Structure 1
Amino acid sequence: MAGTRPIPRPLWKAAALSGMASYLDAGLIVSISVNLAVYRDSYDMGVWMAGAISAIVTGCIAVGSLVGGRLADLFGRRRVYNWDIFCFALGALVITLAPDDITLLVGVLVAGLAAGADLPTSLAVVSDAAPSWARGRLVAFTQVMWMLGITVAIFLGFVLSTTGMTGARLITGQLAVAAIVTWALRSRLKLPDEPPETETGAAPEAISLKGVWTRAALLPMTATFVFYVTWGLGANTFGQFGTYLLVTVSDASQSLATGINLAFIPIGVLLTFAFVRVADTPWRDRLFHVAAVVQILAFVIASLTAGALVGMLVFFVLYQLSNPFAGEANYKVWSQLTLPADTRATTQGLTYALSRGVFAVAAFFTPALADHSPSVLLWTITACMTAAALAGVFIIRVLVPRSARDMPDGADLRVPSTSPTGLPDKEH
């Protein structure tokens, strides 16, 4: 079976270094969320500034994804791949050492833009480096890094919860250190050579914006966007407001709500590893059908019980069991399999950017909607999850087979074959 073929260590290294984009993206969002109350007290921050910082994180990641993906296709993925991680390190250092809220805001702007730019670029880089029989597993591994970013930030927030600004600086400081180390390792990473046109700085016809608005790009871009934005509305709501909803709607204590979120993180990490194992096999898409149904059932139970604590506990169990097999990891793999290779960073950057923009707007209204009617909020998310499942089925049944027919070996036409060492050969 192709999915069980061993992957050479250099390719796993490339996947891990590319996956650091997901680690830093998740770590930045969760760290700002965990530290926000500390920042508010230490900087005597007003409510509007606190809200602005929260909104700017998501907004900057959206803008960074849009601009960074395009720059990567225009000026070379390797070049942008190295510079955006370096800029993230600078932004994280500013956040960590910020003496006031204005400086903090500047750091958030820089780190958010850089994190967004690195997301589509790093996925395109690892996809370019991967042979067709390993692409699913290597791309899916970036989702493991995303889970680790959440885990480390929440764990540090829990351990350092009584240390004030010292703890807040340590939480964001580890992101700066991780980014600097990643930048150093990426600089020495052996990757396929850039095409000659890109090396000269010119933008060849193959990667002009006209290539984005063709049927070959628009259909998979639209389908993956619909899947990601509808699934993400539910995932983002519970990612940002899970504890809030447990406290305000389910009447759980703060400690119980935090404990519930912490308890389910290991399940998510382990099952994401399981997804990586099947990402290059037919089981990837077979499991999606089952997991998508379970995921919808989880939200139906939460909706029917109007957010009551017992219903929410059942929801969290079912959601964590299904989410790794019917969520963002699928979006990442499907995007790399169905989007045209030459515009992959641009098109995925666009779907990332539009989705994150929608998430930011939805987050603004979520607390008010939860206060007005928890049932309406939960049923709306249930409808979104149903739409995501239908979009996923369309991608599996139509787009993935079509992509395989267009490229029989499943490989990008411009990506070189692998050598016996496991590293890509140079193009001829």
Structure 2
Amino acid sequence: MSNDAISSRPAKPRVTRSQWRLAVLSGMASYLDSGIIVSSGLSLGLWQSRFHLSSWGLGALSAALTFSIAAGSLVGGRLADRFGRRRVYGIDIVVYAVGAALLVFAPTTTFLFAGMIIGGLAAGADLPTSLAMVSEHSPRSVRGRLIGATQTMWVVGITAAIVIGFGTSTLGYLSAQLLFAHLAVVALVGWVLRNRMRLSPVPEEGEHGGGREGVDARALRRLGAKPVLVPLLATGGFYLAWNLAANTMGQYGTYFLTTVSGASQTLATGMSLAGLPIGLVCSLAFVRLADTPWRDRLFYVCAALQVLAFAVAAATGGAVIAAMVFFLLLYNVVNQFAGEANYKIWSQEAFPEELRATTQGLTYGLSRALCGLAGLVTPTLMAASGSAVLWITTGCVAVSGLIGVWVVRSIAPQGRGASAGTTSAVRAKEAI
């Protein structure tokens, strides 16, 4: 092949250092979100002993966190699009630190609830805002990688929480305090670094970008138009079904292993920890493939394997440790290619730029609200039948896989032309 032929190939788009920095700092939203969910899950048994909580009390505490994240997403996404993403981006993370600090020093259950509510509101507001910030400051050609990197931070947050929980599992209640102290410190460091960033928006082909500093209230009427409403329902339905399963395992996985499977606190956290290095590697692989057709191809395979993982656990009722180990290992691999990372990218590709934080705030918030309702009864249902919980979550991931296949084929396909990923967004602008 001649040198001329080689040089005529289009260069693969590269991600700049400042864009990676933005992805990591925006990914702190995912880190802190997964961190507070998993840390609260690891702490449930310790809080139950310390504050003499019933199963319903544990459910109410977890639901308070989930509902708060939902409310924060609904309000925060809209505030970011209405009044400016940079403003919200620079505030919500320090509010999170306040909530985490309350959970460290809580003397009563009242303070526990206050910490969960404040931390949840801030985490929820930060999620759609931070993802919209990444989209605003990155070209389409590398956007999948950058959004995928924020999901890697979600896995890192889980890993950090479980590592700390495992390492301090013999320290009793101090273990819970250290978990939330770590989150408070990370939030404060993130707040400082975010406010020191200097960024300029990246122009988008075919989009005027008028929503970057605030969207007029009239833009909300566009949510009812078919080119926006259909992707909204599809991405929201996918994330709701998938998150019902993921949220259950994130908040109650350790509690399930200790109460249903009969594992000790150390063994339970160790089992959860074992699959995370694999999950982290797979998440990094997703980042490399996110802007290629392999993103869609792997979704089909991994969505099916995700159902298999839950079904194996459900078939044994959660009582067989070997089956739970298989479940945790396989789930940590495949959910990186058929879970929240896909939802995040679809949510940025399928909507007009000025509505991205609003639309993702809606789907994320409503999903978390319904997960909160499910969380109210999960501990009681686990006590009655661990097998029922696992079969319900199996059904949820099956539904999410079916919806996801439709999204991939009809709404946000990757690799079918330069602008394939933003087809719905462009059509929405033309139709409204």
Q: Please indicate, yes or no, whether the TM-score normalized by the shorter chain is above 0.5.
A: yes
The answer to whether structure 1 residue 60 and structure 2 residue 72 are counterparts is: no
Q: How many residues align?
A: 409
Picking from 149, 166, 171, the partner of 1:141 is: 149
Picking from 186, 192, 200, the partner of 1:178 is: 186
**1:376-419 residue CA offsets vs partner (Å, 9 max, x unmatched):** 43333222222111111111111014998895685988xxxxxx
RMSD, matched Cα: 2.8
| Cα gap change, 1:214 to 1:96, in 2 (>3 Å) | same
Picking from 218, 234, 241, the partner of 1:230 is: 241
**Are the equivalent residues in 2 in contact too, given 1:27–1:152 (CA < 8 A)?**
yes
2:16 equivalent in structure 1: 8
The answer to whether structure 1 residue 365 and structure 2 residue 386 are counterparts is: no
**Are the equivalent residues in 2 in contact too, given 1:299–1:379 (CA < 8 A)?**
yes
Unaligned runs of 5+ in 2: 1-8, 203-208, 427-432
1:421 equivalent in structure 2: none
User: Following the alignment from structure 1 to structure 2, what is the Cα–Cα distance between the partners of residues 4 and 325?
Assistant: 22
Unaligned runs of 5+ in 1: 414-428
Q: Using the TM superposition, name which of 95-104 and 330-339 deviates more.
A: 95-104
2:278 equivalent in structure 1: 267
**Are the equivalent residues in 2 in contact too, given 1:2–1:280 (CA < 8 A)?**
no
| Cα gap change, 1:405 to 1:272, in 2 (>3 Å) | closer
C-alpha displacement of 1:304: 3.1
- Secondary structure at the residue paired with 2:358? helix
C-alpha displacement of 1:259: 2.1
1:425 equivalent in structure 2: none
Picking from 40, 64, 79, the partner of 1:71 is: 79
**1:289-342 residue CA offsets vs partner (Å, 9 max, x unmatched):** 111111112223233333341333332332222111111111111111112211
Picking from 327, 334, 350, the partner of 2:339 is: 327
Q: Using the TM superposition, name which of 106-115 and 90-99 deviates more.
A: 90-99
Picking from 212, 217, 240, the partner of 2:228 is: 217
**Are the equivalent residues in 2 in contact too, given 1:294–1:322 (CA < 8 A)?**
yes
Identity over aligned pairs, percent? 49
**1:182-215 residue CA offsets vs partner (Å, 9 max, x unmatched):** 111111212335967875x6x426x632122221
**1:105-128 residue CA offsets vs partner (Å, 9 max, x unmatched):** 323222111111001110111111
| Cα gap change, 1:147 to 1:334, in 2 (>3 Å) | same
One-letter identity of the residue aligned with 1:14: L
User: Following the alignment from structure 2 to structure 1, what is the Cα–Cα distance between the partners of residues 162 and 357?
Assistant: 30
User: Following the alignment from structure 1 to structure 2, what is the Cα–Cα distance between the partners of residues 39 and 246?
Assistant: 17
User: Following the alignment from structure 1 to structure 2, what is the Cα–Cα distance between the partners of residues 273 and 49?
Assistant: 38
C-alpha displacement of 1:374: 3.9
TM-score of the aligned structures, taking structure 1 as reference length? 0.87
C-alpha displacement of 1:101: 3.4
One-letter identity of the residue aligned with 2:395: A
- Secondary structure at the residue paired with 1:23? helix
C-alpha displacement of 1:268: 1.0
- Large movers: runs of 4+ above 6 Å: 194-198, 402-406
The answer to whether structure 1 residue 31 and structure 2 residue 39 are counterparts is: yes
**Are the equivalent residues in 2 in contact too, given 1:94–1:103 (CA < 8 A)?**
yes
The answer to whether structure 1 residue 394 and structure 2 residue 402 are counterparts is: no
**Are the equivalent residues in 1 in contact too, given 2:413–2:421 (CA < 8 A)?**
no
1:422 equivalent in structure 2: none
1:384 equivalent in structure 2: 396
One-letter identity of the residue aligned with 2:365: A
- Secondary structure at the residue paired with 1:212? helix
- Secondary structure at the residue paired with 1:157? helix
**Are the equivalent residues in 2 in contact too, given 1:291–1:322 (CA < 8 A)?**
yes
Q: Using the TM superposition, name which of 96-105 and 396-405 deviates more.
A: 396-405
